[in-house]
């Protein structure tokens, strides 16, 4: 049977106390609902419907390319009413899987197993048993252990409240029957809502079998209602990811002090020290070492690269055998070739550095092409901005730039040129020659320092 997935995301999320709709809050830098959509896609459904309401325009605007059909639910009259809004679009012969936009960590295998238990005459329900079931719908079973119905917390009597098996909200039902059941719902209950959960009793009346399954881990079915729950799921998710990395051969010095907020590919024998944040798309080659307290976002890092402590690196390509930091900042559109050394308090922006070149201390290099085997002395600055426009600096192969040099762009330093320390270079310098721009040193003998006046 074809699978259609409905993701419920119309609820308000009051307890977030936020102007941002709940499902747009981030877990590992990705909106909650995007986690659900990505997992939904792994089931290869025919279609996905996203039921939106509160802050709906904001949700649509934030996810312009989401591979979903948008279904508005206004007003929000309950989970049954929410599912009903999507049903007109769904084919007769489909199986319908209901997911929640604020339950981000539901697992693909759990859902596949659940779907496998549903067909035209069977409904599959994902349940969990909780020590403290307060707030959840309770699974009411008969003497034979068959599910009879679900009772919401607010409608439950004291005996039903003792039931510890609860409804996760996630279920799979055949579309034809589901469509009919939804038309039979009423809102005569404690919350005055159309409960999706009331379809269970209707299914039982029709001799439809209610199958149940449980998730592998409780976190899979935990919803986000407040920022504390969001943080709990973030920690769980991070630990899962980091442990997966470790099992794939990466040495992580402390599994609680690495955060992955994106996707990562790693070579063999990579080592990552404590307090590292990796964001976006990251590729780490073989034997890469990342020192402590470093943030890297969108980077392709070659084999045998070592990044020392306290670096900030974004949108950068780093070639094999290069060494970065400590305390280096590599900004977007920087491409370092192989065996490049970037040292402490060096900032590089939108520049290329060719093989075996070194920029080891206290420099700013922006909008620059650095050739091979160049040595840039401490405190060298490219003056790339004139207050209105950016200009390029081009430094030829084997150039040696003395310390504390200002390269006023646009400017070219010839191949093999030497620039004496303390120069202000405003014109292109010829290759293989020494260029100086320096006031001649003089000494005044017998000079007396001023003395403090006496009152």
| The token pair that represents 25 in the structure block | 């809050």
Do residues 109 and 225 make contact, with C-beta atoms less than 8 angstroms apart? no
Q: At CA 162, angle to CA 143 and CA 165, rounded to 5?
A: 65
Of 5, 6, 8, 126, the one binding ligand UD1 (CB under 6 A) is 8
Q: Which stretch binds ligand UD1 (CB under 6 A): 78-86, 140-148, 173-181, 206-214?
A: 78-86
Please give the C-alpha separations between residue 220 and each of 39, 381, 422, in angstroms, as whole numbers: 11, 52, 61
**Cβ of residue 88: shortest distance to ligand UD1, in angstroms?**
16
Nearer to ligand UD1, 102 or 220 (CB): 102
Task: Count interface residues toward ligand UD1 (CB under 6 A).
Answer: 27
Nearer to ligand UD1, 81 or 412 (CB): 81
**Cβ of residue 50: shortest distance to ligand UD1, in angstroms?**
10
**Cβ of residue 168: shortest distance to ligand UD1, in angstroms?**
6
Of 24, 66, 68, 82, the one binding ligand UD1 (CB under 6 A) is 82
Give yes or no for residue 308 binding ligand UD1 (CB under 6 A): no
| 320 tagged catalytic | no
Binding mask 393-432 for ligand UD1 (x = CB under 6 A): ----------------------------------------
Give yes or no for residue 81 binding ligand UD1 (CB under 6 A): yes
- CB contact burial 145-163 (16+ within 10 A = b; e otherwise): eebebbbbbebbeeebeeb
Nearer to ligand UD1, 121 or 191 (CB): 191
Give yes or no for residue 294 binding ligand UD1 (CB under 6 A): no
Cα–Cα distance between 204 and 148 in angstroms, integer? 6
Q: Which H or E element spans position 316?
A: strand 312-318
Binding mask 86-125 for ligand UD1 (x = CB under 6 A): --------------xxx-----------------------
Cα–Cα distance between 170 and 7 in angstroms, integer? 10
User: What residues have CB less than 8 Å from 39, skipping those under 6 apart?
Assistant: 99, 106, 107, 108, 111
Nearer to ligand UD1, 69 or 283 (CB): 69
**C-beta atoms surrounding 191 within 10 Å:** 12
- Name the pairing type of β-strands 138-141 and 95-100: unpaired
Cα–Cα distance between 433 and 400 in angstroms, integer? 10
| The token pair that represents 107 in the structure block | 């697992």
Nearer to ligand UD1, 150 or 425 (CB): 150
Nearer to ligand UD1, 80 or 291 (CB): 80
3-state helix, strand, coil in the chain (%, to 5): 20, 35, 45
Binding mask 338-377 for ligand UD1 (x = CB under 6 A): ----------------------------------------
Instruction: For the segment 157-186, give every residue that binds ligand UD1 (CB under 6 A).
Output: 166-169
Q: Which residue has the tokens 């040292």?
A: 343
Nearer to ligand UD1, 9 or 374 (CB): 9
Half-sphere exposure of 181 (CA within 13 A, CB side): 22
Query: Where do contacts with ligand UD1 occur on this chain (CB under 6 A)?
Result: 8-11, 51, 73, 76-79, 81-82, 100-102, 136-137, 150, 152, 166-169, 195-197, 223
């Amino acid at each position: 049977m074809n699978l259609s997935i409905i993701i419920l995301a119309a609820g308000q999320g009051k307890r977030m106390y936020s102007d941002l709709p709940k499902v747009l809050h981030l877990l590992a830098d990705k909106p909650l609902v995007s986690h659900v959509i990505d997992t939904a896609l792994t089931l290869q459904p025919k279609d996905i419907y996203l039921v939106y309401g509160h802050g709906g325009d904001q949700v649509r605007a934030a996810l312009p390319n989401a591979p979903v059909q948008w279904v508005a639910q206004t007003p929000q009259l309950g989970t049954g009413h929410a599912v009903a809004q999507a049903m007109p679009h769904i084919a007769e012969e489909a199986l319908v899987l209901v997911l929640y936009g604020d339950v981000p960590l539901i697992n693909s295998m759990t859902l596949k197993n659940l779907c496998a238990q549903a067909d035209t005459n069977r409904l599959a329900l994902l349940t969990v048993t909780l020590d403290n079931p307060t707030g959840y719908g309770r699974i009411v079973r008969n003497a034979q252990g068959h599910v009879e119905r679900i009772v919401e917390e607010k409608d439950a009597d004291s005996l039903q409240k003792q039931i510890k098996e609860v409804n996760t909200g996630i279920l799979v039902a055949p579309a034809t029957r589901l469509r009919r059941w939804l038309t039979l719902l009423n809102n005569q209950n404690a919350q005055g809502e159309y409960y999706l959960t009331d379809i269970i009793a209707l299914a039982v009346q029709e001799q439809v079998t209610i199958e149940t399954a449980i998730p592998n881990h409780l976190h899979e079915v935990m919803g986000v209602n407040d920022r504390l729950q969001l943080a709990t799921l973030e920690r769980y998710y991070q630990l899962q990811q980091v442990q997966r990395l470790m099992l794939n051969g990466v040495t992580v010095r402390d599994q609680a002090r690495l955060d992955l907020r994106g996707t990562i590919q790693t070579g063999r024998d990579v080592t990552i020290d404590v307090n590292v944040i990796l964001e976006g798309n990251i590729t780490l080659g073989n034997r890469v070492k990342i020192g402590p307290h470093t943030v890297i976002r969108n980077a392709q890092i070659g084999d045998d690269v070592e990044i020392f402590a306290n670096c900030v690196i974004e949108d950068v390509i780093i070639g094999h055998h290069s060494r970065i930091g400590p305390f280096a900042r590599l900004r977007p559109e920087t491409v370092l070739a192989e065996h490049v050394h970037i040292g402490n308090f060096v900032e590089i922006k939108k520049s290329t550095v060719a093989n075996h070149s070194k920029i080891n201390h206290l420099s700013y290099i922006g909008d620059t092409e650095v050739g091979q085997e160049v040595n840039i002395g401490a405190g060298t600055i490219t003056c790339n901005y004139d207050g209105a426009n950016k200009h390029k600096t081009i430094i030829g192969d084997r150039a040696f730039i003395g310390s504390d040099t200002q390269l006023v762009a646009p400017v070219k330093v010839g191949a093999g040129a030497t620039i004496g320390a303390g120069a202000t270079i405003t014109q292109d310098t010829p290759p293989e020659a020494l260029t100086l721009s320096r006031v001649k040193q003089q000494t005044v003998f017998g000079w007396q320092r001023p003395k403090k006046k006496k009152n």
